[in-house]
Amino acid sequence: MDKVLISACLLGRPLRYNGTAKASGADTILDAWQAQGRLVAICPEVAVGFPTPRPPAEIAALGDELNAALQGADVLAGRAAVLEKTGRDVSDLYRRAARDTVQLAARHGCRHAVLTDGSPSCGSSFIYDGSFAGVTKAGMGTTAAALRQAGVRVWAETEITALNALLADQ
């Protein structure tokens, strides 16, 4: 059976920066996957020691300029930063979180990951633009990018039904 790495906040755990969980809209499928023992849950940020709640963080340029092209892979490569709204640079912790999550996926043989979209760690189709003004842009977070680089197929929570159909066909 293919195991699926999953953002822990999609399983009702209130681990997000604002102390909430994230609704997936696909609880029936997630319940079935859990009953099958298919899921490997991780919150990359909490796993490296971030508290909940914590300040919001966004992927930003190393200098003052906003740069719409920057995303998680640039943080992994040292070309961009993850900044908390307070201005604290948490890039190193985010890189460690990404690395640890890739290792966890490898240990469990996960070829798929379902991650919470929009997060600077877990976002897979969109993230925030670094302005802390609620502006989104297409892109991936740090952990999502690292998983993809490692060959794990990353799905957003809106794609759970599609992944379920794929897994059922295998």
3-state secondary structure of 40: strand
Q: How far is the CB of 121 from ligand SF4 (least distance, A)?
A: 4
End-to-end CA distance of the chain: 9
Specify the DSSP class assigned to residue 139.
Answer: -
Stretch that binds ligand SF4, among 41-49, 73-81, 99-107, 130-138 (CB under 6 A): 41-49
Would you say 21 and 15 are in contact if contact means Cβ atoms under 8 Å apart? Answer: yes
In the list 7, 71, 101, 164, the residue contacting ligand SF4 (rule: CB under 6 A) is 7
Cβ neighbors of 161 (< 8 A, separation 6 or more) are 26, 29
- Rounded to 5 degrees, what angle do the CA atoms 2, 113, 3 make? 20
- The yes or no reply on residue 147 touching ligand SF4 (CB under 6 A) is no
**86/165 with CB nearer ligand SF4:** 86
Q: How far is the CB of 52 from ligand SF4 (least distance, A)?
A: 8
Q: How many residues bind ligand SF4 (CB under 6 A)?
A: 13
- The yes or no reply on residue 9 touching ligand SF4 (CB under 6 A) is yes
- The yes or no reply on residue 116 touching ligand SF4 (CB under 6 A) is yes
- Rounded to 5 degrees, what angle do the CA atoms 132, 154, 166 make? 140
- The yes or no reply on residue 101 touching ligand SF4 (CB under 6 A) is no
In the list 4, 30, 43, 73, the residue contacting ligand SF4 (rule: CB under 6 A) is 43
